[in-house]
Chains A and B, each alone.
Chain A
Amino acid sequence: MDITIKNASLWDQIPDFESLDLSGAAMIICQLDKKLVTDIHQRLTSLGYETFLVQFDVSLKPNSVYLISDDHEFECDGSSIQLNQDTISTNLMELMLINYPQGSISLANDDLNIIYTSGSGYEEHNVDPNSIKGINIATLWEQNIFEGFQKALPSIRNGQLWEFESEFQGKCYLTTVSCIPDRKTFYYLIKSKDITERRKTETALLESEQRYRYFLDQSHEVICTHDLKGNYKLVSPSVKKMLGYHPEEMLGLHPYDFCYPEDKGIIRSTWTELLEGKRPKNIQYRAIRKDGSLIWVDSYSDIVTDSKGNVVSLTTASRDITNLKHIELELRKSEERFRGIADNLPGVIYLCLNDENYSMLYLNDEVKKLTGYKKEDFVKGNISFVDLYHPDDAPRVFEIVDGALERQESFHVTYRLKNIKTDSWVWVEEFGQGIYENGQLITLEGVLLDITKKIDNQLKLEQSEANLKAIFESTQSIIGLYNTENELIEFNSSFKNYILASDGVELKKGMGLADFITSDKIDEYKSYHNRVLKGEKLKITTEYPTPYGTIHLLSGLNPIFNKGEITGVSLFVEDITELKTSQKKLEQYAEDLEKLVKERTVELEEKNEELILGNEQLEAALVELQMAQDKLVQAEKMASLGVLSAGIAHEINNPLNFVKNGALALFNRIEEFQDYDEEEMRPYIELINGGVDRVTRIIKSLSHFSRDARTMNEKCNISSIIDNCLLILQNKLTDRIRVIKDVDSEAIVFGNEGKLHQAMLNLLSNAEQSIDGNGEIKISAKPVGTLVELIIEDNGSGISQENLVKIGDPFFTTKPPGEGTGLGLFITYSIIEEHRGKIEVSSIVKKGTKIRIELPNL
C-alpha cells in the first residue's frame, strides 16, 4: 500500500483538500497544529474522505487520511502508525487530569516504578511530586497492600479496577489502580482521593443506624418507613411476630397489600391529611396476617422531612391491639344489647343512689317522654324525681319505698309526676328494688311506666257509655240488644213504651222473646233472630193500617260482633212513614224529569246537526282562506320583480353607456371625414339614439316602482308618474288603445312616489284590460284648491252594479283563476287611503269605467 506523508508545519496556508487524489493510498498528515486538528478532520470528512484522528496506535487502511497533531511523534512501518510511548503517557496523563482534577494521580510503568505524578493532593501534604518519580510502589505502599495488589494484578491487567483505603497523616484516602495496556507493556494509573470527610459521615451514619436498628429490633412496635407512595422502605423485625412476614418480604409493598380491603380508606385518608400538613394521629385498622387471620392494628403515622423541610418519607409505628379490640368490642356489644333492651322498653329504667334526691346513675331515653327533662339533667343533678312528685303523692311514695327497702323487698307504687313539657300530671306506676352487696344497700333500680293513658281510657269508656245511653234514650226509634239466648240485655224507653202499649208487658232485662211478645208472630221473630245469630243482616219493612193512614216500620236486625264472634242481636226499629211518602213523590219527579230530558235531547240533537253544518261551512272558508294566502304569495313575488329590475338597471345602464356614448364619439369622428354626408348619416344616428333613449326610459321608470322608501313626503309629479306607467304598459296599449293624456304639470302631491306608481299602474292596467279590441283611455289631472283631482276613464267592458261594491275587497276578481290576484284594487285603495285621498268608481256595463281620485296636495 502506498503511503503519502505530509508535514503540515511546512504549509504556508491550509491547502484546499478538494482535489486530494488518494487512488488507493493512505495519507498521513502530521505536525498539525493542535487547534486545527478537529477543524481539518471535519472538513475532510465532509468532503467524503475517510479520516481518522490518530491518538493511539492504528493499522492503516487504503483511501484514508490519518491526522496526527504536532504533540505526537510517530513511526510508520508501512501498515500501521505507532505513536511514541512517552507522548502516550504524557497525553494520557493530561487526559486523565482533565477528568480527575482533585486528589493525586501517578503513573507507574510495568516495573512498578513511578514515572509520572500530578494533582493537588501532593501539594496539600507538602510533598514534591517529582521526588516520588522513579520510586517503586512496593516501597511506597504498606506491605499488606502491596501484596494484595500483586495478587490482583492479573485481573487489573484484564481491565478491572482495584481499590484500597489507607491513612496518611491522619487523613483517609481511597486509592484506585487501573491498567492502561500499551503496545508492548502495561502502565498503571494510581489515583488517590481524600475521603476523610466521607468516612466520618459514613461512620456517624453507621453508628446512628446501629442505634436505630437496636431500637427497631428491641421495640415491640413495628416501625416502618415508607416512600411517599407509601411503599415500605424499611420494616422492623418485630413485624415477624405481628404479621408473620419476614421484613424483607414486605419491602417495596404497600400497607394496602396487608390491610383488610375495607380499611384501606382509613390509611389513605390519614396519609393524605398528613401530606397536606395535618397533625399526625393514631388510626386503627384490620391487617391480614400471613396465615390469613385478621388482627387489629393501632398505627401512628408521621412524616419525615429533610433539612429544607421537604417531606422525604413517611414513618409508622404499629402495634397489635387485637386482644384489646376484642375486649372493647365485647364490652360494646354487651352494652349495646343492654341499651337496645333499655331503649326499647316502653318505660323509664333507672339506677340511682338511695340518697335524698335519688341521684341518678343511669336512665334510658324514655325519661324525656315521661318528664320532659333529658336524662342528662337527672344524671348531672340538675333535676330530681323528688321535685316532680305530686305533692299529694310524695309522702306516700317515700313511705312505701323506705318500708320496702328496710325489709329488703321490692316495691310497687303508683303516683303522679309532673311533665314539664306538657305541663300536666302523668300517672306513673313504679316497680323497684334495692341492690345489696354484702347486705349493704348500694343502689336502687327499677322501672317507671306511664299509665296515664290506661287511666284516661277508663274515664273515656265511662263517658262513651254515658253518651251511648243518652243517644239510646233520646231517639224515637226502638232499640234493643239481645244475647245469643235471645234474652234482652239492653233496651231503651221507646222499646219499653211500645211493648207496654202493644203487648201490655213491662220490659225487664233478661226477658226472652216469648216473655214479652204475645202475638202469634213470635215464631217469625224467633226465626229472624236465629238467622241473624248465623251472621245474616236483616231489614224488614212492615205496614200497619191506622185511622191516620198507613204506618211504615223498618226493622233492622243485626248481629253484634265482639272480636269476630257473634255475641248477640241488635234490634233497631224506625218509623219510616214519612220516608215512604217522600219516596213516592220522588219517583213521580224522576218520571217527569226523564220526560223532560227526552224532549231536550231531541232539541240538542237538532242543534248538533246545525253545528256540524256550520263546521263544514267553516272548513270551506278555511280552504278559501288558504287559497287567498297562496294568492298573497303571488303578489309578493310581483313586488320582488320590481326590486329585481332595479338591480339589473345598473348592469344595463353601463353597456347602454358604451353604446350611446361610443356611438356619439364615433359620429363626431365621422363628421370630420371629408365625404361626410349629414343627410345620409342622420337616420342612423337617430336610430341608435332613439333605441338607447327608449331603453334608458324603461329602466328609469322601472326603478320608480322599486323604491322602497318609507317616507311620505316625497314630491310626486302626477304627470311623470302617469308617463312612467304608460311606458311600462306600452306594449299592451300598442295602437289598439288611444291614450289621451291631459295632466297639468302643476299636479303635484307629497307622498310616497313608489307607492303612487303602483296605484296608478294598477288603475291604468285595469283600464287597459277592460278594453277588448280597440278603445280609448282618458287621463286627466289638475290641482283644484288644496287637492289634486285625477280622472281615469276608459270605454271598456265596465263593471256590473253588483260587483261595483266589491271591487275594493281583497281577493275579489272577475278574472279566471290564476290570472288575477284580486289584490290590485285593494292595494290601490290602501295606497290612496294612506295618502289621505278618496277614490270613487262609477261604471256602466259595456260603456266603460270612470275612476275619480282626490289627493290632498300638501
Chain B
Amino acid sequence: MIQHPDITVLYLDDEKDNLFVFKANFNRKFEVITTLSPNDALHELDLHHDEIIVVISDMRMPDMNGVEFIKRAKAKYKNIFYYILTGYGHNEEIEEAIEDKLIEKYFTKPFDALEIEKAILDATSHLRRN
C-alpha cells in the first residue's frame, strides 16, 4: 500500500544506513529509489526520469559532492526538483546552489520526515499545476 504511487523520489547517499532509514520512513508514502553513488543515481535517472519528481542528494560523497551531482543531473533533466540533505549545518556551496536556483532548498541531518514529505508534495503539486 503506497499512499502516492504516482510520486517517485530518488535518494542518493554514500552511507547505506542513511538509505535504509530514508526508505523506512518514505516507502509507504512514495515510490523510493535509493542509490549509493552519483553514477548509479545518473543511471537511475536515465531509466526513470519520467517517473522521478524529486531528487534528494547527500552533500559529502567521495566521487563528487551533492551540488556537483545535481549540476550534472539537472543539465539533463531540468523538470525534476532537486534537494540536498546534509550533515553539515551551513555551507557556502549550498548557499550558492540555492541562489543559482539549482536546488529548491536544503535539509539537515537528522532529517525531519514531515518537512521532507511536505517539500515533496509541494513540488509535485507545483509540477502538476504547470
Q: B-contacting residues of A (Cβ < 8 Å)?
A: 646, 649-654, 656-662, 664-665, 668, 692, 696, 699-700, 703, 707, 709
Q: Give chain B interface residues in 100-117, CB to chain A under 8 Å.
A: 108-111, 113
Q: How far is A653 from B88 in the complex, measured between Cα atoms in Å? A: 8
Q: Is the CB of A664 within 8 A of B18?
A: no
Residue-wise interface mask of B (1-39) relative to A, using a CB-CB cutoff of 8 A (1 in contact, 0 not):
000000000000001011011101100100000000000
Point out the residues of chain B lying under 8 angstroms from A653, CB to CB. Answer: 87-88, 108-110
In-complex Cβ contact of A660 among B15, B17, B110 (8 A): B110
Point out the residues of chain A lying under 8 angstroms from B87, CB to CB. Answer: 649-654, 657
Q: Is the CB of B21 within 8 A of A658?
A: yes
Q: Is the CB of A657 within 8 A of B21?
A: yes
Residue of A nearest to B89 (CB): A703
Q: Is the CB of A649 within 8 A of B88?
A: yes
Point out the residues of chain A lying under 8 angstroms from B28, CB to CB. Answer: 668
Q: Is the CB of B89 within 8 A of A661?
A: no
In-complex Cβ contact of B25 among A665, A703, A709 (8 A): A665
Residue of B nearest to A701 (CB): B89
Q: Is the CB of B88 within 8 A of A658?
A: no
Point out the residues of chain A lying under 8 angstroms from B71, CB to CB. Answer: none
Residue of B nearest to A662 (CB): B21
Q: A661-B21, A696-B110 are in contact. List 6 more A-B contacts (CB 8 A).
A: A650-B86, A650-B88, A656-B110, A657-B18, A699-B89, A703-B90
Q: Is B60 interfacial (CB-CB < 8 Å)?
A: yes
Q: Is the CB of A692 within 8 A of B89?
A: no
Distance (whole angstroms) from the CB of A740 to the closest CB of chain B? 28
Distance (whole angstroms) from the CB of B27 to the closest CB of chain A? 9
Distance (whole angstroms) from the CB of B119 to the closest CB of chain A? 15
Q: Is the CB of A658 within 8 A of B18?
A: yes
Q: Is the CB of A661 within 8 A of B60?
A: no
Distance (whole angstroms) from the CB of A716 to the closest CB of chain B? 13
Q: How far is A696 from B108 in the complex, measured between Cα atoms in Å? A: 10
Q: Is the CB of B18 within 8 A of A654?
A: yes
Q: Is the CB of B110 within 8 A of A692?
A: yes
Point out the residues of chain B lying under 8 angstroms from A707, CB to CB. Answer: 90
Q: How far is A664 from B117 in the complex, measured between Cα atoms in Å? A: 14
Residue of A nearest to B85 (CB): A657
Q: Is the CB of A664 within 8 A of B113?
A: yes
Number of residues of chain B lying within 8 A (CB) of chain A: 21
Residue of B nearest to A672 (CB): B28
In-complex Cβ contact of A657 among B88, B89, B110 (8 A): B110
Residue of A nearest to B15 (CB): A654
In-complex Cβ contact of A656 among B88, B89, B109 (8 A): B109
Point out the residues of chain A lying under 8 angstroms from B109, CB to CB. Answer: 653-654, 656-657
Point out the residues of chain A lying under 8 angstroms from B89, CB to CB. Answer: 649, 699-700, 703
Q: Is the CB of A661 within 8 A of B90?
A: no
Would you give 17 A-B contacts (Cβ < 8 Å), ordered by A? A646-B88, A649-B87, A649-B88, A650-B60, A650-B88, A654-B15, A654-B87, A657-B87, A657-B109, A657-B111, A661-B113, A665-B24, A668-B25, A692-B110, A696-B110, A703-B90, A707-B90
Distance (whole angstroms) from the CB of A708 to the closest CB of chain B? 11
Q: Is the CB of B25 within 8 A of A658?
A: no
Distance (whole angstroms) from the CB of B108 to the closest CB of chain A? 7
Q: How far is A660 from B109 in the complex, measured between Cα atoms in Å? A: 9
Residue of A nearest to B28 (CB): A668
Point out the residues of chain A lying under 8 angstroms from B111, CB to CB. Answer: 657, 660-661
Residue-wise interface mask of B (63-93) relative to A, using a CB-CB cutoff of 8 A (1 in contact, 0 not):
0000000000000000000000011111010
A649-B88, A700-B89, A703-B90 as given contacts; A659 in contact with B110, CB under 8 Å: yes
Q: How far is A684 from B71 in the complex, measured between Cα atoms in Å? A: 42
Residue of A nearest to B24 (CB): A665
Distance (whole angstroms) from the CB of A754 to the closest CB of chain B? 10
Q: Is the CB of A661 within 8 A of B88?
A: no
Q: How far is A657 from B88 in the complex, measured between Cα atoms in Å? A: 12
Point out the residues of chain A lying under 8 angstroms from B108, CB to CB. Answer: 653, 700
Q: How far is A709 from B89 in the complex, measured between Cα atoms in Å? A: 14
What are the nearest 8 A-B pairs in CB distance? A665-B24, A653-B87, A660-B110, A650-B87, A657-B110, A661-B21, A653-B109, A657-B109
Residue-wise interface mask of B (44-66) relative to A, using a CB-CB cutoff of 8 A (1 in contact, 0 not):
00000000000000001000000
Distance (whole angstroms) from the CB of A697 to the closest CB of chain B? 11
Distance (whole angstroms) from the CB of A739 to the closest CB of chain B? 24
In-complex Cβ contact of A661 among B15, B86, B92, B110 (8 A): B110
Q: Is the CB of A662 within 8 A of B88?
A: no
Q: How far is A685 from B89 in the complex, measured between Cα atoms in Å? A: 25
Q: How far is A467 from B110 in the complex, measured between Cα atoms in Å? A: 117
Q: How far is A651 from B89 in the complex, measured between Cα atoms in Å? A: 12
Point out the residues of chain B lying under 8 angstroms from A664, CB to CB. Answer: 25, 113
Distance (whole angstroms) from the CB of A109 to the closest CB of chain B? 89
Point out the residues of chain A lying under 8 angstroms from B18, CB to CB. Answer: 654, 657-658
Point out the residues of chain B lying under 8 angstroms from A650, CB to CB. Answer: 60, 86-88
Point out the residues of chain B lying under 8 angstroms from A662, CB to CB. Answer: 20-21, 24
Residue of B nearest to A663 (CB): B21
Q: How far is A662 from B21 in the complex, measured between Cα atoms in Å? A: 5
With a 10 A CB-CB cut-off, give which of B22, B88, B89, B110 has the most chain A CB atoms. Answer: B110
Residue of A nearest to B17 (CB): A658
Q: Is the CB of B60 within 8 A of A665?
A: no
Distance (whole angstroms) from the CB of B60 to the closest CB of chain A? 6
Point out the residues of chain A lying under 8 angstroms from B21, CB to CB. Answer: 657-658, 661-662, 665
Distance (whole angstroms) from the CB of B113 to the closest CB of chain A? 6
Q: How far is A440 from B21 in the complex, measured between Cα atoms in Å? A: 140
Distance (whole angstroms) from the CB of A649 to the closest CB of chain B? 6
Point out the residues of chain B lying under 8 angstroms from A652, CB to CB. Answer: 87
Q: How far is A424 from B75 in the complex, measured between Cα atoms in Å? A: 102
Distance (whole angstroms) from the CB of B58 to the closest CB of chain A? 9
Residue of B nearest to A753 (CB): B90
